[in-house]
Amino acid sequence: MTAPLRLGVNIDHVATIRNARGGSHPDPVKAALLAAKAGADGITAHLREDRRHIGDEDIATLMAALTVPLNLEMAATDEMLEIALRHRPHAVCLVPEKREERTTEGGLDAAGQDSRLAPLIARLNDAGIRVSLFIEPDARQVDAAIRLNAPVVEFHAGLYSELNGAARAEELRRIADAAALATKNGIEPHAGHGLTYDNVGPVAAIPQLAELNIGHFLIGEAIFDGLEGAIREMRRQMDLAR
Ligand code: PXP
């Protein structure tokens, strides 16, 4: 069965540009509304511990302004749990976070942190927030997501996006196998990180995947083609592959 494939647009880097000058322009909320108009099915925003791009006020404004679902990416900490429970976004994607990293470098080790993650996921589940675990595409991590009652997993596509040739094909197969395993166990699989016009097709063609979250490339491409144009082209590439 081929699930409809949603596009979640990550607006973090609109805030990165805004914060470079410390003012209010460009406004990530305006970008989010434009993204929704251009065909984004949801908006993704990562509230980092150091608030290097999205800030607390952005989350409040996004919650008030958006008519499409907000997927809040966050580390599995008490501070972030409290923020999520206060704002109640549609979804929370739990990501690993290292202060010095430039971007989310690997998947969450759900398998190695069962006991720490379980109560946090339970609180989010109880609040009706759809929990997603950003994990590597491997069976051990999917098994942990099953044990942890996570309704969604997002597979880290970063390695896939960096590889070429046979190695890329092998990594794609790992994502496809993990997506099939997740679906078989009632978990909705998503994918994201490093996706571009050039590499999105084979990922979008994986029939079980229900959502792709894409940010950096779209915000960069918006410099050349405008945000609406970039999102429409990405949507077109995803639909072509499906
Ligand atoms: N999904 C998750 C969980 C992420 O952490 C990120 C990056 O913040 C993305 C998707 C989007 O990745 P990119 O910006 O490379 O498209």
Ligand 1 centroid distance, CA of 10 (Å): 7
Structural domains of the chain, with CATH: 6-241 (3.20.20.70)
Q: Which atom of ligand 1 is nearest to the CA of 95?
A: 3
Mean pLDDT score across all residues of the chain: 96
Question: Does 25 participate in catalysis according to the annotation?
Answer: no
Q: What's the rounded mean pLDDT across residues 99-119? A: 86
Q: What's the rounded mean pLDDT across residues 154-181? A: 98
pLDDT at residue 2, as a whole number: 80
Ligand 1 centroid distance, CA of 193 (Å): 4
- Best of 104, 195, 234 to mutate for ligand 1, by most ligand atoms within 8 A of CB? 104
pLDDT at residue 1, as a whole number: 67
- CA 39 centroid distance within chain: 16
Contact (Cβ atoms closer than 8 angstroms) between residue 45 and residue 18: no
- CA 235 centroid distance within chain: 16
Q: What's the rounded mean pLDDT across residues 56-80? A: 98
pTM: 0.97
Question: Does 53 participate in catalysis according to the annotation?
Answer: no
Contact (Cβ atoms closer than 8 angstroms) between residue 139 and residue 102: no
Tell me the DSSP string of 82-141. HHHHHH--SEEEE----TT-SS--S---TGGGHHHHHHHHHHHHHTT-EEEEEE-SSHHH
